[in-house]
């Protein structure tokens, strides 16, 4: 009995250990991670001064674990995914991950000074595939929507697509990927992605 009372008391005071990420509801996960990252970005002097490497580092450490890049690459590849060898799949996923992390980092950095509005999740507790809606409120203009498509996995909820202002990142790469594969094959696409990533990395 005494034990229970302690737990309740500690809980009230907020001393209970934080819930591990695997058990967090998808909307709570998005909220926690977004707020943490935005706080880091807006307080970091190097990032403020324009350090891309530092910014990408933060996204890699904090956001990347919650993304399912394998699923994202498969969706962006469409029918061509089945034609890729395991080795090609691995390299595609790796290059696409690098590109997506950079794109997402730039988008989030652009909004880091704004207020975020985390919408209540409209889903049943039994759902395993949900969309978490976030809005970035900007003074004077229409809010920008960030919609995260998420799927429940054994290691917690994972993002498999991000829609920025109604534009799905994954869907937007589909035509490009399709065109490149048609013109120069899957290896050609891997090469194009490598070149792209190298150019971006050199720019700092």
**Closest to another protein by CB, 51 or 172:** 172
Task: Please count the residues of this chain forming the interface with another protein, following the rule CB under 8 A.
Answer: 38
**Closest to another protein by CB, 24 or 130:** 130
Residue 120 binds to another protein (criterion: CB under 8 A): no
Residue 119 binds to another protein (criterion: CB under 8 A): no
d(CA 74, CA 78): 6
Structure tokens at 76: 């962006």
Q: Could you tell me which stretch among 26-34, 35-43, 53-61, 191-199 binds another protein (CB under 8 A)?
A: 191-199
Residue 102 binds to another protein (criterion: CB under 8 A): yes
**Closest to another protein by CB, 24 or 101:** 101
Contact 142, 119 (CB under 8 A): no
Residue 125 binds to another protein (criterion: CB under 8 A): no
Indicate the helix (H) or strand (E) that contains 159: strand 156-164
Q: Is 126 exposed, middle or buried (0-12, 13-18, 19+ CB in 10 A)?
A: exposed
Lookup result for tokens 């990408």:
56
Structure tokens at 5: 């009372």
Q: Could you tell me which stretch among 17-25, 29-37, 54-62, 178-186 binds another protein (CB under 8 A)?
A: 178-186
Which residues are CB-contacts of 38 (< 8 A; sequence separation ≥ 6)? Answer: 108, 111, 112, 116
Lookup result for tokens 């993304």:
67
**Closest to another protein by CB, 9 or 110:** 110
What is the footprint of another protein within residues 17-76 (CB under 8 A)?
75
């Amino acid at each position: 009995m005494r034990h229970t009372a302690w737990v309740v008391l500690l809980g009230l005071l907020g001393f209970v250990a934080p819930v591990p990420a695997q058990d967090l509801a998808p909307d709570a996960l998005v909220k926690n991670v977004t707020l943490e990252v935005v706080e880091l970005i807006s307080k970091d002097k190097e990032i403020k001064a324009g350090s891309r490497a530092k910014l990408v580092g933060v996204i890699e450490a904090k956001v990347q674990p919650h993304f399912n890049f394998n699923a994202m690459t498969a969706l962006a590849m469409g029918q061509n995914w089945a034609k890729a060898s395991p080795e090609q799949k691995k390299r595609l996923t790796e290059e696409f991950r690098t590109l997506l992390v950079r794109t997402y980092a730039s988008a989030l950095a652009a909004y880091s000074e704004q207020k975020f509005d985390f919408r209540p999740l409209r889903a049943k507790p039994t759902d395993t595939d949900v969309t978490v809606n976030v809005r970035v409120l900007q003074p004077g203009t229409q809010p920008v929507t960030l919609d995260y498509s998420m799927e429940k996995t054994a290691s917690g909820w994972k993002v498999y697509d991000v829609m920025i202002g109604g534009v799905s990142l994954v869907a937007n790469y589909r035509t490009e990927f399709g065109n490149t594969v048609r013109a120069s094959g899957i290896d050609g696409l891997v090469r194009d992605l490598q070149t792209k990533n190298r150019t971006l990395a050199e720019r700092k």
